[in-house]
Chain A
Amino acid sequence: EPEVTQTPSHQVTQMGQEVILRCVPISNHLYFYWYRQILGQKVEFLVSFYNNEISEKSEIFDDQFSVERPDGSNFTLKIRSTKLEDSAMYFCASSEVEGFSNQPQHFGDGTRLSIL
């Protein structure tokens, strides 16, 4: 079964450094998402992306964050200058666009980001 792939599985970065999290969505999916989950807390929406532009973003997704689809397969999340509070599990998800809303978002296994 096709799946969403995320790399790396764990990223350790010094505070203030830039980090890029990578995702390969399922190949026929057209909508892409980033979510994050701070340890022990619920999953929070960051941003959705369609047709090479952001569809929606949350308050968390400030100027330090950006997303890109640099080629036909990858979808990246960049954090420009990381802060301690950016430490979390980051999930990429993708979904088909097919009429009504019964299509689930398929999640990758996540990237655990640790900021030191």
Chain B
Amino acid sequence: AQKITQTQPGMFVQEKEAVTLDCTYDTSDPSYGLFWYKQPSSGEMIFLIYQGSYDQQNATEGRYSLNFQKARKSANLVISASQLGDSAMYFCAMREGAGTASKLTFGTGTRLQVTL
């Protein structure tokens, strides 16, 4: 079974609108962390936001927020007020275990295109 599933290969959103990128995960470890990274066409990986399995509140970072539904094992990224510069690939990733050193397992990504 896939540990991270991103079911939307591509999404379109109009500038200034909000968009939700889906991510579901699979783990039996009670301690885990969920991360979202942005990959623009230039190729670099940019960390956006983190949600820990024991965090009581949904994470927020500026225009990014994470809709964390633990029982459903989903960690959807919400981007508010989309900008043209948000056009990129977005990857959801998971780290299992309590340590900071564990590897990240990535999903297949969602390509977001912001239109005028």
Residues of A within 8 A of B (CB): 31, 33, 35, 41-45, 48, 50, 55-56, 58, 89, 91, 93, 95-110, 112
Contacts and interface: CB of A to CB of B under 8 A. Distances in A.
Contact of B91 (A42, A45, A48, A102): A42
Contacts of A108: 44
A111 B50 CA distance: 25
A107 B105 contact: no
A108 B32 CA distance: 23
Contacts of A44: 106
Contact of A105 (B31, B32, B104): B104
B101 interface: yes
B37 A102 contact: no
19 contacts: A43-B45, A43-B91, A44-B106, A45-B105, A55-B101, A89-B43, A93-B45, A93-B104, A95-B100, A95-B101, A96-B100, A100-B52, A101-B99, A101-B100, A104-B47, A105-B35, A105-B104, A109-B43, A112-B43
Q: Which has the most chain A C-beta neighbours within 10 Å: B31, B33, B42? A: B33
B102 interface: yes
Interface residues of B, number: 29
A31 B109 CA distance: 25
Given A42-B108, A89-B43, A99-B100, 14 more contacts: A33-B103, A50-B101, A95-B101, A96-B100, A100-B52, A101-B52, A101-B95, A102-B52, A105-B47, A107-B37, A109-B42, A109-B44, A110-B44, A110-B45
Nearest to B55: A102
Shortest 3 CB-CB distances between A and B: which pairs? A107-B45, A45-B103, A109-B44
Contacts of B103: 33, 45, 48, 56, 58
B47 A107 contact: yes
Contacts of A43: 45, 91, 93, 104, 106
Contact of B47 (A55, A100, A106): A106
Contacts of B107: 42
